[in-house]
């Protein structure tokens, strides 16, 4: 272990605890997804690891595409994950004056200029360059415009954008994850940095904000790597210090291309809705491109803060593997306390229409607090009232079978249904004949009827029924039909615990119903 930290020490020399400031800067043009959530997480972990500040900045310069609902979704998602920011959210749309100031400065110094070329014109240019095997880039035509021409165009209200003059030089910088990286800016044309003084564009706004917000480490996706030289150039001409860069490997879909909507679900909210736990997502996302170097695989957010080392971040992209996510979620579900898990499952049972919440109010003398409202539940179909403990019993026997919270309804629906939809073939264990099945049901009814209500608990049921089941040799002959009669399902929890929860009356009723089908 020691040698690794040795060799990586130099990468670390510019990390001064307490002086670290990172940021997560999403644009509210889409929902918070797996990829951006991981970027947020790594920025958070790095900042917290070194007692730094984690800033949230909303990059909403694109008026057309930015939507308030996306902004809400992003903020809600971060909160759900437990990723808390120390500053912000700053919104770029509220910082126009700051950008204008720097924009004017660049314009005045002749380092940026107005470009009046039309989009069509530029598109033709690009096509032409591509066809000649050249990198598409702006030819710098408007940079040659005289001051008078610019003034005239402007006063005529001719549409323009502000472009930044790219200096031809080699930009070399050190990426914390990738090491030395070199770009030749002579290969690129001047870039657009603002539509006008009021509306800056990404590359410019980022550079200004990262400087204004004193961001020390820029941690972002690898897809932004090619933007870095431009941003460095901007920093240099504006006289800003250069932050340290760390470009994260991409999260990939099964086809190994950048994870996107076409790979199916990427929105974090949808994972939440399906019943994935925030601790699952955190643990899972952290391991996409990072590992602690030990064989430990289970990490909470707090333990990640302790163990996270940015130098251990991978260079290669990581395929998003949903099977592993499911496994982890099952693991975290099994870790939950019965109470907590029940609370988490209730919304899903409600949503499926199996149960309904009810509120009971009780009057007390004012001295005792007046009215108290207690929450209870009832079975939607029968309107029978059930309490939290009843639901807890149900949830507990399915705890280790649950991979996603949403599965609870399908798994336990038979507890909430008046009549089950039996498939007759299902009653048969190992080719039992109808007669044999009927015999089993008769036997079951006889034995179960004899069990007293006050002895109605799974241990007792098990003792009594197992004794009878053993007589046949293969327990399945008695137990399989029982389980199917109680649940109507091919797979379920054990019949004794189910019978206990269902109660004697319903248990017997279901056995009779089932039997009536095989006569």
Known binding residues for ATP are 261
Residue number with CB closer to RNA (223 or 362)? 223
CA neighbor of 430 nearest in space, from 487, 484, 474, 486: 474
Specify the stretch interacting with RNA by CB under 7 A; choose among 37-45, 128-136, 263-271, 335-343. 128-136
Specify the stretch interacting with RNA by CB under 7 A; choose among 39-47, 327-335, 339-347, 357-365. 327-335
Q: What SS3 string covers 138-156?
A: CCCHHHHCCHHHHHHHHHC
Residue 376 binds RNA, judged by CB under 7 A: no
Residue 414 binds RNA, judged by CB under 7 A: no
Residue 169 binds RNA, judged by CB under 7 A: no
Contact pick of 18, 133, 241, 365 for RNA (by CB under 7 A): 133
Helix (H) or strand (E) holding 491: none
Choice among 169, 214, 261, 423 that is catalytic: 261
Rounded to a whole number of angstroms, the minimum distance from the CB of residue 447 to RNA is 15
Contacts 24+ apart (CB under 8 A), 263-266: 263/320, 266/33, 266/34, 266/35
Pick left, alpha or beta for residue 439 (phi over 0 → left; psi -120 to 50 → alpha; otherwise beta). alpha
Specify the stretch interacting with RNA by CB under 7 A; choose among 95-103, 262-270, 285-293, 343-351. 285-293
Per-residue contact string for residues 15-54; x = within reach of RNA by CB under 7 A: ----------xxx-x-------------------------
CB 456 within 8 A of CB 504: yes
Specify the stretch interacting with RNA by CB under 7 A; choose among 46-54, 119-127, 149-157, 383-391. 119-127
Could you tell me which residues are beta bridge partners of residue 357? Answer: 377
Q: Which of residues 478-497 bind RNA (CB under 7 A)?
A: 479-480, 483, 490-496
Residue number with CB closer to RNA (21 or 57)? 57
- Which residues lie closer than 8 Å to 113 by C-beta, 6 or more apart? 107, 142, 143, 145, 150, 162, 163, 165
Residue 149 binds RNA, judged by CB under 7 A: no
Q: How far apart are CA 162 and CA 231, in angstroms?
A: 15
Residue number with CB closer to RNA (23 or 515)? 23
Contact pick of 31, 202, 299, 416 for RNA (by CB under 7 A): 202
323 is a catalytic site residue:
no
In DSSP notation, 493-505 reads S-HHHHHHHH-HH
Contact pick of 257, 337, 372, 376 for RNA (by CB under 7 A): 257
Angle 196-162-193 from CA coordinates, rounded to 5°? 90
Q: Which of residues 302-321 bind RNA (CB under 7 A)?
A: 312, 314-319, 321
Q: How far apart are CA 59 and CA 89, in angstroms?
A: 10
Residue 68 binds RNA, judged by CB under 7 A: no
Residue 159 binds RNA, judged by CB under 7 A: yes
Residue 400 binds RNA, judged by CB under 7 A: yes
Q: Which of residues 429-458 bind RNA (CB under 7 A)?
A: 429
Strands 318-319 and 251-252: parallel
Q: Which of residues 339-368 bind RNA (CB under 7 A)?
A: none
Q: What SS3 string covers 389-430?
A: HHHHHHHHHHHHHCCCHHHHHHHHHHHHCCCCCCCHHHHCCC
Rounded to a whole number of angstroms, the minimum distance from the CB of residue 174 to RNA is 11
Contact pick of 213, 224, 380, 464 for RNA (by CB under 7 A): 224
Q: How far apart are CA 280 and CA 483, in angstroms?
A: 33
Residues marked as catalytic: 261
């Amino acid at each position: 272990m020691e040698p690794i930290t040795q060799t990586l020490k130099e990468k670390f020399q510019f990390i001064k605890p307490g002086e670290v400031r990172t940021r997560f800067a999403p644009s509210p043009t889409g929902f918070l997804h797996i990829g951006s959530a991981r970027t947020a997480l790594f920025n958070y972990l790095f900042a917290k690891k070194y007692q730094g500040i984690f800033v949230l900045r909303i990059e909403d310069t694109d008026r057309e595409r930015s939507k308030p609902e996306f902004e809400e979704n992003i903020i809600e998602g971060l909160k759900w994950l437990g990723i808390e920011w120390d500053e912000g959210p700053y919104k770029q749309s509220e910082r126009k004056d700051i950008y204008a100031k720097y924009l004017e400065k660049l314009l005045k110094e002749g380092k940026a200029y107005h470009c009046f070329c039309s989009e069509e014109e530029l598109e033709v240019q690009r096509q032409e360059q591509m066809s000649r095997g050249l990198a598409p880039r702006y030819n710098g035509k408007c940079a040659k415009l005289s001051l008078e021409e610019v003034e005239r165009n402007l006063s005529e209200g001719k549409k323009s954008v502000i472009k930044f003059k790219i200096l031809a030089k080699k930009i070399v910088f050190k990426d914390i994850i990738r090491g030395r990286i070199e770009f030749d800016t002579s290969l690129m044309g001047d870039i657009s940095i603002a539509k006008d003084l009021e509306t800056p564009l990404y590359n410019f706004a980022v550079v200004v904000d990262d400087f204004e917000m004193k961001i020390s480490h820029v941690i972002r996706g690898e897809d932004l790597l090619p933007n870095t030289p431009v941003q460095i150039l901007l920093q240099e001409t504006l006289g800003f210090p250069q932050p340290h860069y760390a470009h994260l490997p991409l999260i990939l879909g099964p086809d190994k291309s950048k994870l996107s909507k076409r790979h199916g679900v990427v929105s974090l909210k949808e994972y939440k809705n399906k019943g994935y736990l925030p601790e699952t997502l955190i643990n899972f996302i952290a391991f996409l491109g990072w590992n602690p170097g030990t064989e430990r695989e289970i990490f909470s957010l707090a333990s990640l803060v302790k163990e996270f080392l940015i130098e251990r971040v991978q260079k290669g992209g990581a395929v998003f593997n949903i099977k592993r996510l499911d496994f982890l979620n099952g693991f975290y579900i099994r870790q939950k306390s019965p109470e907590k898990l029940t609370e988490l499952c209730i919304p899903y049972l409600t949503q499926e229409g199996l149960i309904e919440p009810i509120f009971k109010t009780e009057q007390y003398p004012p001295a005792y607090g007046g009215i108290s409202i207690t929450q209870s539940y009832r079975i939607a179909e029968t309107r029978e009232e059930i309490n939290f403990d009843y639901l807890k019993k149900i949830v507990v026997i399915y705890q280790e079978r649950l991979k996603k919270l949403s599965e609870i309804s399908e798994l336990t629906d038979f507890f909430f249904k008046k009549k089950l939809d039996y498939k007759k073939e299902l009653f048969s264990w190992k080719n039992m004949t109808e007669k044999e099945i009927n015999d089993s049901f008769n036997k079951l009814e006889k034995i179960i009827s004899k069990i007293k209500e006050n002895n109605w608990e799974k241990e007792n049921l098990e003792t009594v029924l197992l004794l009878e089941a053993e007589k046949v040799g293969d327990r399945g002959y008695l137990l399989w039909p029982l389980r199917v009669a109680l649940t109507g399902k091919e797979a379920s929890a054990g019949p004794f615990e189910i019978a206990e929860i269902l109660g004697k009356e319903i248990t017997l009723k279901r056995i009779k119903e089932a039997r009536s089908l095989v006569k």
